[in-house]
Amino acid sequence: MSVRLASFLAVVTALTACQPAPEAPGETETAEPALTIERLHASPSLTGATPRSLTFSPDGSRVTFLRAKDDDASVLDLWAMDIDGGEPYLLVDSQVLAPDERELTEAERQLRERARISSTGIVRYDWDSQGEAILVPLDGDVFHVDVATGQARRLMETPEYETDARISPRGNFVSFVREQNLYVIDLESGEETAITSEGGGLVSFGMAEFVAQEELGRRTGYWWSPDEQYIALARVDESPVDNIQRMEIGADGSARVVDQRYPRAGTDNAIVELFIAERATGTRRQVELAQTDDIYLARVNWASDSATAYVQVLNRMQDQLTILTADPATGEAAPWLVENTDIWINLTNDFRALSDGTVLWTSEDTPGGFRHIQHRAADGSLINQVTSGDWVVGSINSVDMDNSLVYFTGWIETPLERHIYSVPLDGSAAPTRITSGDGRWSARFGRDATRFIGTYSDPQTPPQTALYAVDGSRIRWIEENALVEGHPYAPYLDDHITPQYGTLTAADGTELHYQIFLPADFDPNRQYPAIQYLYGGPHSQQVHRGWQSLRAQMFAQRGYVYFTIDNRGSWNRGREFEGQLRHRMGSVEVEDQLVGLDYLKSLDFVDADRVGIWGWSYGGYMTLMATLQAPDAWAAGVAGAPVTDWTLYDTAYTERYMGHPDANFDGYEQSSVFAHLDSYETPLLLIHGMADDNVIFANSVRLYSELQQQRADFEMMTYPGQRHGVRGEDRSVHLWTMIVNYFNHQLKDEG
């Protein structure tokens, strides 16, 4: 193993070389930190005011965003700021529109769970095309808000719950799903029209099925044409999908059996068909997606002239993506582009149909699998490669057709920093970086691509949002969120610990990035317990130079070294880096985490006998696999909501990375926790929500049973009514008090 040390470690090594041997563990106590677990989860958020869902009004005169209430960080309101000047102002108060928001339906609850929305109040909104009104779904109904007057009109007041409400592209209609059917309201006449009426039971129209929401990043099932003449809509038939009966134990002790159509790996998916409906008549024409119905409907986009719908279709194994062009007048479709890979296809939202009939698109069909921008002709042929190189394009932000420029987010200089760049549409010059700093940026551009809303953070700077010109110069703050007196985090700033960064080398020579938080009042002559945090799975990057979760501060300020390494298989390093776990999850990830552990234990200030490990979801799975494959490596572990057997998880995610169980029996066997359970030795705390509809509770129940059969000693905590995450201030305080106490007991011998 070769190691390239960060500069701070060179200093620590030099200091250690001329100092006495480290003190024995426990000789010096760490002062009780000011940052308590209770304050960490109270309101207002310690991160400060962090506006979300930022966008420009269509006329470019305002910026709108969602902001949490000062006295309750879980409730969101809609705010606005005029571009020409003035302070941000409250545009729509959620509690004025709906003082007593009714209970969510199961469909809406699942939509929010899939989108990881834990807030209440206004959680989404939609501008009309003229910038005169905003659509606000709230309280199960839909409000149409006049921006000039602030007056809100409730478009319906029904006992049913309306979901996925949107304003049509030209602002003449509002569409929504009710009782598994798609409806449209004419805003001028108020007339409501059912586009479909056959939905009900196991059949729905205009909705995304479970795996599309959870694993494909598609949370809608209908798409307006720009001229409002057509609506492309999905028909979903869940009758082939296995019915998984889950026992949900509620917070009040009640129990109910929930029938959930959950397609486990190797079983049948829902049948998804695509139709294009004429809005005026309701006439529907089916688009043939493939020769088989065992496919995934991935994305639908429209040409700017509404003459063509572009339909992205994945095969079941997700190693082939076909983009079809469909004629809305006939439903006839033909292949426009086909991509194949021996790894898997990663979907994006980067398809941009331009006004001249050409298309911008990002693809990983490049050397090394690095995602880059392509400019394609109307017939799908490649005009030119816009970007290239051993780095990753994150997403296309905007296209300036007048100046032939493309703006995008990417990781060019280092995978730890994310910046905004511009590049000529013809690819004739290298990208130009337009943002500054050593952290992470995100951006939302206006329609004319002359300004953007930019949000920046780094390890010492919580998210700051401002309005910027396209050269990167700041025009004005939207939310400076400065760490000054009055900021929620200001009282704790003196104790803030900044992570240090470095790289290690995997067994195959691959460079791996890590970050490390040193304990409060760090003394190189002491030895400290350490905690290794991990996720480890695809589509996740934990090591970066953005603002970090304050959980790291929580542990470091309590005397722990807090360490994270991104193993092979993680995100933003190209598809070949990610694809090394293909068909063998729980293998190379564990190898690389052990590289990190070996390095951690080699540090003089780390007590090698007192290193713990923890993670949630895939990180919970990794905690189990790491401690079982290296039973004497870690002193204790905490596994939250873990997958324990990939045959229990859903088709789209599992088969993308593992293939079909029938074709990879040995891979599934070795990737299961139960194949390694005879090596159980490391003390574990196991945690799961009893209403988890993603990693279903059965994963942990089976593990509890097997460990009990082995007479193994372990601890467990279940959360009634909680799904894949533990929500709410009181439960969060309970959860993290328990985890900290567990590690204190196992690694510090406290309690």
Cα gap 503→511, rounded to integer Å: 6
| DSSP assignment of 89-112 | EEEE-HHHH-TTPPPPPHHHHHHH
Cα gap 457→466, rounded to integer Å: 12
User: Quick count: other Cβ atoms within 10 Å of Cβ 642?
Assistant: 25
Q: Strand 72-82 relative to strand 120-121: parallel, antiparallel, unpaired?
A: parallel
3-class DSSP assignment, residue 577 = helix
| Among the listed residues 651, 4, 717, 739, the one whose alpha carbon sits nearest the alpha carbon of residue 317 | 651
Query: What is the DSSP secondary structure assignment for residue 119, as one 8-state letter?
Result: -
Decide if 326 contacts 332 (C-beta within 8 A): yes
Cα gap 193→665, rounded to integer Å: 50
Cα gap 26→47, rounded to integer Å: 32
Cα gap 160→18, rounded to integer Å: 73
Round to the nearest angstrom and report the end-to-end CA distance of the chain. Answer: 38
Q: Which residue has the tokens 């549409």?
A: 425
Decide if 747 contacts 612 (C-beta within 8 A): yes
Hey, which residues does 72 pair with through a beta bridge?
Answer: 69
For residue 96 the two structure tokens come to 């004025």
Cα gap 734→276, rounded to integer Å: 50
The residues carrying an active-site annotation are: 617, 692, 724
Decide if 115 contacts 104 (C-beta within 8 A): no
Cα gap 295→269, rounded to integer Å: 9
Cis peptide before 538 (omega within 30 of 0): no
- The H or E element that residue 608 is part of is strand 606-616
Decide if 488 contacts 48 (C-beta within 8 A): yes
Decide if 577 contacts 568 (C-beta within 8 A): yes
In degrees rounded to 5, what are phi and psi of residue 618? -60, -35
| Among the listed residues 615, 596, 632, the one whose alpha carbon sits nearest the alpha carbon of residue 685 | 615
Decide if 351 contacts 399 (C-beta within 8 A): no
User: Quick count: other Cβ atoms within 10 Å of Cβ 566?
Assistant: 28
User: Quick count: other Cβ atoms within 10 Å of Cβ 140?
Assistant: 21
Largest CA distance in the chain: 85
Specify the amino acid at residue 52: R
| Strand runs labelled E in 122-172 | 126-127, 133-138, 141-146, 152-154, 162-167
Cα gap 683→681, rounded to integer Å: 6
Phi-psi region of 180 (alpha: psi -120 to 50; beta: other; left: phi over 0): left
Count of alpha carbons within 13 Å of 562, Cβ hemisphere only? 26
Specify the amino acid at residue 283: T
